[in-house]
Amino acid sequence: MTTTATEDTGMTTRALVLVHDPAADRRERIPGALLPALSTRSVKHEIISFVGAESEPDLRDYDLLVVMGSRESAYDDTVPWLPRELAFVGAAVDHGLPVLGICFGGQLLARHLGGSVGPAAVPEFGFTTVGTSDPDLVARGPWMQFHGDAFVPPVGTEIARNASGSQAFLAGKVLGVQFHPEITRDSFDSWIERWDAEGDTPAGAVDVAALRAAVARHERRSALLCDRLVGTFLERTLR
């Protein structure tokens, strides 16, 4: 399994970050603002991908799991690596590990916990606000959205939503969000590079150049919102 990791500086709190890009040179860029939010709280991270992997890490080596977005659908079991990742994420939840799921990651968590995932009634591409019952954890935003699928969370766990549907749920030590708190110009550029490399640039409702400009305008505020979300989540789950 291909991994990237922070330098060992004696930190004891460790986060495992799952990404879904086959190119190892883009993997460190995908988590964007999440990495400084973890680092400032002395959380060491390791980044892995189940895409093409033959082995998996030992969950006992980590204190936190983060599952990032994917171009695949969390309900499509024909995706070769999805059943293994679903089982791995489910094991983390069942063992009481704090888990943060972003977009696809949130959808995977909703599926494991008894919710559902399917095509979104209103796909979202761009920055939106959300209504929230837990603003210390999930602020109103604006948050970056990029999803054609959506989750219905387990009953009684929803903490944020907007006109598109559910935007966040909290179930014990599990937080799933539909939006992308990690977004930075560089993380978005890593998406663009993959689209270009694979000849699969999103069409239709997505104006990539305009969205990239919006990411740049919102970058500073997005980083602050991400830091707040990560900090509150860690404070609540890693005490």
Query: Which residues face 146 on adjacent strands?
Result: 125
**33 and 184 Cβ atoms separated by less than 8 Å:** yes
Architecture of domain 3-237: 3-Layer(aba) Sandwich (3.40)
Q: Which residues of 15-28 are buried (b: 16+ CB within 10 A; e: fewer)?
A: bbbbbbbebeebbb
pLDDT tens for each residue of the chain, 239 residues long: 444 444 444 447 999 999 999 898 999 999 999 999 999 999 999 999 998 776 889 999 999 999 999 999 999 999 999 999 999 999 999 999 999 999 999 999 999 999 999 999 999 999 999 999 999 999 999 999 999 999 999 999 999 999 999 999 999 999 999 999 999 999 999 999 999 998 887 766 789 999 999 999 999 999 999 999 999 999 999 97
pTM above 0.85, yes or no: yes
CA distance 100 to 122: 24
Sign of CA dihedral 229, 232, 235, 236: negative
Closest CA to 62 of 44, 35, 88: 44
CA distance 141 to 58: 35
Catalytic residue annotation: 103, 180, 182
